[in-house]
Amino acid sequence: MYNGWKSVHGLKHQSVDNAYGMTEDLFGPTTLRRNDLYLLYKSDINERFRELQEGDIDQFVMFGDSAYKLRSHSRSYYHANEGVPNYRGWNSGYKHVRISIEWSYGVTASSFKYLAKHDKLKLLSSNYISKVYTVGILFRNFKIAIEGGQSYKYFGLTLPDYMLERYITHVETYTSAISEYHLQECEGNVSDRKQASNDRLVRR
């Protein structure tokens, strides 16, 4: 769990935020040594985002850093050799959109000071670091649903009525779906391990 570039040990999450500044999806943790492409692959976020909008006329896409290559529902910077008209204009506009996620990180840290106490969040002395961070993200979403934030003003949005109630209902439904997804994944992993074990016994 050591990052040679920043010279720190740590955990890493992948988050997807909406234009209101609320985190819609949080995947992790993984060791800080893993790159963004690994989290993108393991989270299966593009496929889950596609399934979420299946049948809808209007399709939303995610904007990410260089790990988010062109997929059905994710975009990143375009390069000159990709044949995209006015790709420079797209990339320029994209930079102005992506800055909002940095604001979200700042709100989390400034709203919940405990998350900035490095001595309380040491990997070898605590086994609940990821849970603390996840709860901090959840409460930040509550805060934005009630008070708004910098992102929704930047994008010229208006907070919907009863946004907190709607969000909590969404979280309950989404949590149930994710729990079922992970349950199926775990069952699949157990089945794969059993098959691999049987194969080894046969070879012996």
Q: Is residue 26's pLDDT more than 60?
A: yes
Do 190 and 133 have their domain in common?
no
Nearest CA to 13 among 32, 86, 148? 32
Residue of 85, 37, 43 whose CA lies nearest to 65: 37
Q: Quick one: 194 exposed, middle or buried, by C-beta within 10 A (0-12, 13-18, 19+)?
A: exposed
Whether residues 68 and 140 share a domain: the answer is yes
pLDDT score recorded for residue 198: 47
3-class SS of residue 122: coil
Q: What range defines the domain where residue 171 resides?
A: 160-204
Q: Per the structure, how many domains does the chain have?
A: 2
Shared-domain flag, residues 117 and 192: no
> Is residue 200 over pLDDT 50?
no
Q: Do 44 and 92 belong to one domain?
A: yes
Q: Judge if 130 and 194 occupy the same domain.
A: no
- On whether both 129 and 149 belong to a single domain, the answer is yes
Q: Tell me the per-residue pLDDT of 32-47, one tens digit each, with 9 for 90 and over.
A: 888 888 888 889 999 9
Do 165 and 97 share a structural domain?
no
Q: Would you say residue 62 has pLDDT above 50?
A: yes
178 and 165 part of one domain:
yes
Please, are residues 129 and 31 in contact by the beta-carbon 8 Å criterion? no
